[in-house]
Structure 1
Amino acid sequence: MEFCLYLINFDKIISQMKYILNIFFILSISLINSCKNNKEVHLNNDTIINNEKITIETSTNSKSDTSASLSIIETNNNSVKDSASNFKTKNKDNLNLKNDSLNKYHIYISLDDGPQEGTRNCWKILKECNVPATFFMIGVHNEGKSKTSLVDSIHNDPLFVIGNHSNTHAYFNKYSKFYNDPSGSINDFILAEKNLNLNSKIARLPGRNTWSVDHIIKGELSALKTVKKLDSLGYSVFGWDTEWHFKNGNIPVQSADEMVRTVNYILKNGKTHSKNSVVILVHDRMFQKPEHAASFKKFIVSLKENNNYYFNTLNNYSK
């Protein structure tokens, strides 16, 4: 009798175990199907999970970077947001450079204090050599039919850009007075915009090697207030990496060969404001005499012979 009862109980246990196993099997099949349905499908900037759409929303925070956030549009009538803080990509559209300029050294010829004697020679040489350059001009110098005509010609030439070098060149070289009066100095730059009919927002401070590119200011403390105001007006302010010096007002000090060696050296040794870019300062009046103009041309031609050098204007400055 006891043995029969034992068999009956054993059968019940077996039946219960089969029932549990069946339930477990059904749950397993359901889980596998659920996983299959939950697979991700990527389409362009969208991700589909459980029939819910996740969109990568991009917003440009600076000239060079694009930040992105992930937003789940709707999940069971609830809105959920998650940030992707490390998602940054280079915005190549802002480089404004030709394809053949990549992996090259960038040369920026900049000429100060025009229009004056020597400006026309420089313009003709650069045009003949097909080399872009930036002319930083002074408002009060743009007087008389000959000079205004020259300025118009440079304006209309796609090789060149005219930058703002103030209206009076720091109250005619009174630098302390000029930079101790930030409001007055800014008004001087604004007046130059009108006198030169400027359509660019690039400037160079008179007598101060100071920079403000992408709101990063570097240079001489005495000019800090002025350069900050120019920056707030949308200007990029350019100093220089090397200068072709002059003596007695307008006579070049270095030879063309010496200048070429200097440019080669500072580029290869990273002694410039931005890596692989060099801003060269010359003054127009240095090249009004034929022999000095010939030296300027030799300098330009020698640089151009280097296939690793790419010329551009400062509105396309490569940082």
Structure 2
Amino acid sequence: MKRLYKTLKITAFSFLFQGIIGCDYFPENSIERVIPTKISSPITKSKPEGQHTDIPLDSNELKVDSIPHQLPIDSTKNYVYLTFDDGPFKGSEKINKIIKEEQVKATVFIVGMNAYTQTLQKYLKDYEENDLIEVSNHTYSHANRNRFKSYYDQPEFVLRDVKRNDSIYRFKNRFVRLPGRNVWRLGKDFKNDHDLGSRLSSDFLAKNQYYILGWDYEWNKTHKNHPLKNPQDIYNGIIKRLENKETFKEKHLVILMHDDMFDNHEDAEQLRRLIRLIKNNKNIILETASNYPISLS
């Protein structure tokens, strides 16, 4: 009887341990283990066959011109940059459709590991094929699935995560949005968030020729089941910040949104309303993130 009890106890422990592993539970100090080794056959027009996703820090593979080609800036105008984080997501299809129909420019910052189904991969491909949309880097793992403290305390790991996303999707620009941190690194212009880790990681990315774009204003959804805030209020907030010079760079405003905000028809139409309000203001130009002015000296 004692032997049977001991056997049952060992078996129960084994099942419990496997259950923990199956739930992908690991402590924060084992950060490397929670990143998937690859996503499910990402459909991207530029991914080479057999591309490795673990890119060494000294890799020359991703080197491009450090100074992006930028369009001339009209000093008499204000510029607004529509940016969407965390795609591909259910709302990505509607964002892509509205941007195309309204004929405005926008930038989407994508998370590589989010493209885990054929449908989400198609949304990402649609983004890539839309000439009005600029696809940029929001890291592969979204700060190791929102483990912000341990993630940003390891700058080399952050760089690997950014490069991993870059190596899969072959972004046409070097602009990065950091998950959960409003940090800027644009040439000599910079701004930090509250923690030391994100500052050090941002400096490390900048030394490796990445530009980090934060945001001046956020349109967020307070609760999944609540409607979005009135687009007129968001537009008024944009105008107020531009007029009061409450932006990182005068006459330029970056607005942050998220793909999952627009996963139903009603909320998607709110996005359309905001875009039309901005379009009707002849003193505002809508532009992509890579045309945000960079001070190099």
Q: 2:141 aligns with which of 152, 168, 173?
A: 168
Counterpart residue number, 1:203? 176
Q: TM-score, normalised by structure 2?
A: 0.72
Name whichever of 152-161 and 104-113 sits farther off.
152-161
Question: How far apart in 1 are the matches of 2:128 and 2:255?
Answer: 21
The one-letter code matched in structure 1 to 2:77 is: K
Q: Given that residues 170 and 206 in structure 1 are in contact (C-alpha distance below 8 angstroms), is that contact kept between their aligned partners in structure 2?
A: yes
- State the shift of 1:317 in Å: 0.6
1:227 to 192, 198, 202: 202
Same amino acid, percent of matched pairs: 27
Partners of 2:263 and 2:114 in 1: CA distance = 16
TM-score (norm 1): 0.67
Is 2:242–2:253's contact at 8 Å kept on the other side of the alignment? yes
Letter in structure 1 aligned against 2:199: L
Equivalent position amino acid for 1:278 in 2 = L
Partner in structure 2 of residue 277 of structure 1: 252
Query: Contact 2:90–2:120 (CA<8 Å) still a contact in 1?
Result: no
Task: State the Cα distance separating 1:249 from its structure 2 match.
Answer: 4.5
Question: In the aligned structure 2, how far is the partner of 1:137 from the partner of 1:239?
Answer: 15
Question: What is the alpha-carbon distance in structure 1 between the residues aligned to residue 243 and residue 227 of structure 2?
Answer: 25
Consecutive unaligned residues in structure 2, runs of 5 or more: 1-65
Residues 145 and 290 (structure 1 numbering): CA distance in 2 closer, same or farther, change over 3 Å? same
How far off its partner does 1:94 sit? 6.4
Match 1:141 to one of 114, 128, 147: 114
Distance in 2, matches of 1:264 and 1:289, equals: 27
- For residues 164-191 of structure 1, what are the alpha-carbon distances to aligned partners after superposition, in whole Å with 9 as ceiling and x for unaligned? 1111111111100111111111111111
Structure number having the greater strand percentage: 1
C-alpha separation between the residues in 1 aligned to 2:208 and 2:165? Answer: 14
Matched to 2:164, the amino acid is L
Uncovered stretches (5+) of structure 1, i.e. residues with no partner = 1-61, 64-92
The letter of the residue matching 1:168 is S
Q: Which amino acid aligns with 1:132?
A: K
Structure 1 residue 152 corresponds to structure 2 residue 125: yes
How many angstroms apart in 2 are the aligned matches of 1:265 and 1:307?
16
Q: Quick one: which of 220, 226, 240 aligns to 1:245? A: 220
Report how far residue 102 of structure 1 moved: 4.4
Residues 252 and 286, structure 1, Cα contact 8 Å, conserved in 2: no
The match for 1:180 among 153, 163, 168 is 153
Q: Partner of 1:299: helix, strand, or coil?
A: helix
Q: Which amino acid aligns with 2:154?
A: D
Relative contact order (C-alpha < 8 Å, sep 6+): which is higher? 2
Structure 1 residue 95: deviation in Å? 4.9
RMSD after superposition: 2.0
**Aligned positions of 1:232-311 closer than 5 A:** 232-249=207-224, 251=226, 253-311=228-286
Deviation at 1:146, TM superposition (A): 2.3
- Report the alpha carbon displacement of residue 157 of structure 1 after superposing the two structures with TM: 2.3
Shifted more, 163-172 versus 191-200: the winner is 191-200
The structural deviation recorded for 1:252 is 5.3
Report the 3-state secondary structure (helix = DSSP H, G, I; strand = E; otherwise coil) of the residue aligned with 1:279: strand
CA contact (8 A) 2:96 2:130 kept: no
The reply on whether 1:214 has 2:187 as its aligned counterpart is: yes
Which SS does the other structure have where 2:185 is aligned? strand
Instruction: Give CA deviations for 1:12-66 in whole Å, capped at 9, x if unaligned.
Output: xxxxxxxxxxxxxxxxxxxxxxxxxxxxxxxxxxxxxxxxxxxxxxxxxx97xxx
Please say if residues 250 and 286 of structure 1, whose CA atoms lie closer than 8 Å, have aligned partners that are also in contact: no
Aligned partners of 2:165 and 2:69: how far apart in 1? 28
